[in-house]
Structure 1
Amino acid sequence: MARINNRKNDEIRDIKITRNYTKYAEGSVLIEMGETKVICTASIEDKVPPFLRHTGTGWINAEYSMLPRSTHQRKIREASRGKLDGRTQEIQRLIGRTIRSVVDLSKIGERTIWVDCDVIQADGGTRTASITGAFVAVVDALNKLHKSKAIKEMPITNFVSAISVGIVGQEHMLDLCYEEDSNAHVDMNVIMTDKGEFVEVQGTGEERPFSRNDLNKLLELGEKGNKELIKAQRAALGEIADEILGMEYGNEVVIATNNAHKLEEIGAILEDFEYNVYSLKDVDLAGIEIVEDGKTFEHNALIKARTIAKKTKMITIADDSGLEVDAIGKKPGIYSARFAGENATDEENRQKLMKSLNNVAASQRTARFVSAIAVVFPDGKEFVVRGTCEGAIGFEEKGKNGFGYDPLFIVSGYNKTFAEMPSSVKNSISHRANALKLMKSEFSKRVVR
């Protein structure tokens, strides 16, 4: 069956979110979902309900109403009747508990945020539009508290939105308008976070029961719709959203190294990284020469990452690593790859190291591998982490695996060199593994997936 405005069954109505819509509220939004229009405001009150006094915790309450002529026929004001009807109370509670589910109330102090959702034009989905708009208004209100230093950090734990789905005739549909909702024999509201988690699902078989298969299809539609709504919330909130959720940079990263051994090792450690990982060869930069003239591992890693990010416009990960031996002043350090000369082989570097440690006792041969991992994003944002692995330099080479100084480096707690270990073991305990673990943790704080 053809839908109104010829929408596809999995297509939401046009959405528009206008922030700062009213003058006085700390947060205010006009949200338009097709012909449904709701004004959502968030007001901050410096007190809490009696049950929260002296707890340091805040609260969020919601009120919802429909203007008399928001509908086809004039609706009598509930104030004129002297009481709220059951539907209004249900929706108010739903909005309140939804917003509370994504705000850490312990971080807002003893304050109450009053959320007011006033429907000025109704064409189906007023409660879901209210939730989606109210969230943006609350974020704005909390951001004002944060910017004024009234609270230490933004207490938003997730984005949240809501959408209606239903079965009309035999069709599973997303985002029902009033006419579709009136004719639906299954009607459902799906409230979800940006992480794909459910806050609430309200579903009713108006005329007959519905199957598990129906439920699954409706939930899939709800998930699709909520992803689109959260994308619209992000666009409306701009930099505030980026501060809360991180940036969207796509799902491709390039590893800035020409060292085949490093590339293989990093690739193995990043096997569970939910990104498409490319080498310099993949992006037509194989053999590129980058002058690493930094004074630290961190600086050199950033030099490489910045260079490749600028050329590719991709997220770039670069490693600079080396060996620090305490007995010789933490040499070779950043010169580890060229300790015996500019074009020295791994064997020549190891031989020079052994000569440098002649007559040094076992107890004085402590050393560590260091890895600095730099990540540079296309917009210029960047960070660096450092991972280490403690050990000592042996008196002879042992093992056939690995590369560089691995046959000489005896790992603390293992009594084996890296070269004696299977790569799976090395890749779980090495300096590079430790740095990449830190990198993934920091990375997840800065991007949205």
Structure 2
Amino acid sequence: MTAPGSGAHTPPPPTPGGPGTTEAPAAAETAPTGTALAPDRARRARRTRRILGFAAVLAAGAVALAALNSGTRHGLLDPRSADPYGSRAVAELLKDRGVTTRVVTTAREAADATGPRTTLLVTDPDRLGTRQRGLIRSAMDLSGGRTVLLAPGSHSLTDLAPGVRTESATEADTLAPACTLPAATSAGPAATGDDRRYSTGLPRATACYPSDGDPTLLVLPAGTGGDTVLLGSGTILLNESLAEDGNASLALQLLGSRPELVWYIPSLADADPAADGDSEDQSLFDLVPIGWNWALLQLFVAAALAALWRARRLGPLVTEKLPVVIRASEATEGRARLYRKAGARDRASTVLRAATRERLAALVGVPASQAHDPATLVPAVSSRLGDGGHDVTSTLFGPTPSDDAALVALADHLDALEREVRTS
């Protein structure tokens, strides 16, 4: 296949400095030697090692910081956590009053630890699976101690507090006791109403801190001498809100009525995937420990600073002269091979015809602006030809060749047509 843009002839190998040779300055004809490139490679290697070392130091620092943070931040309502949403403050106050706190993460551990001298606190009842709820219910019936359920919903109330219904929450958070429960009357207003309200027809149930007529704290006596406390919000146990209103007093009285406190934080193994709709709304970042969030933030900032540092070192684009002499025939053959590999006969034939039309227009005196106009170019070319049987219109403006052989034939016809016009 004849290469496009070269007419119908394949140029002979050019001589150095002759036509068809792309000349480069003398200084650029000599390719750089390996000795000249060695210092550049060494500099790049040193720069790369420095960047990798800097990144390694940042990564190690971030991991260390995350590990240190993870040791003191255990999440929401955790008595070991000093974070604003942890509960270390209330655990320390209980310790000062002689109450020992034991943290458990499985329902079996929680059930085995309960007894008449214990208070069992379940921080997320709705997260429990069916088997776990059964274990906790059995412990509640047999222990004779107190069980505190934080914000249980309809999913867990059926098993853990039958006969109690949950109502929608209201905007009110700090509420007055409005009951005769000693713990509530001595504590006064407390933040119990920002999550759930309850309603029940059970006899002897004590309803406190009502919101729109429904209590946010409900105490249900048990036949074994213990009781069950339904607390509509865990706000009174948080570090950030413990000192507000009567939160501390109410929390200490509800959790400190027995000398031992079993603090049950359900683990993933105890979770019921279909239980809590709120867990489905959590994003990936909600599940990442707080310490690792800070580590990721530091890595992101470090990466941004490194990008800015490297971007400042990049100057404007600099043109570079070719280090070798390139023959025009090599470029022509390479382009032709690309056309052939892509099967671009349409593009190749279009380029061949366009180049021939432009050269013929110059030979027959047709302006360059009208070189591709059949009505102008065809009569001018035909007038320079004899009776050679050339179909000028089909040759210069015909359809795309159907195969490579037809494309080669077209190149030959264009070559013959141009040669005859030149010799006429």
Please confirm whether the aligned pair reaches a TM-score higher than 0.5, indicating the same fold. Answer: no
Structure showing the higher helix proportion among its residues: 2
Q: TM-score, normalised by structure 1?
A: 0.21
TM-score computed with the length of structure 2 as normaliser: 0.21
Select the structure that is richer in strand: 1
> RCO greater where, 1 or 2, for CA within 8 Å and sep 6 or more?
2
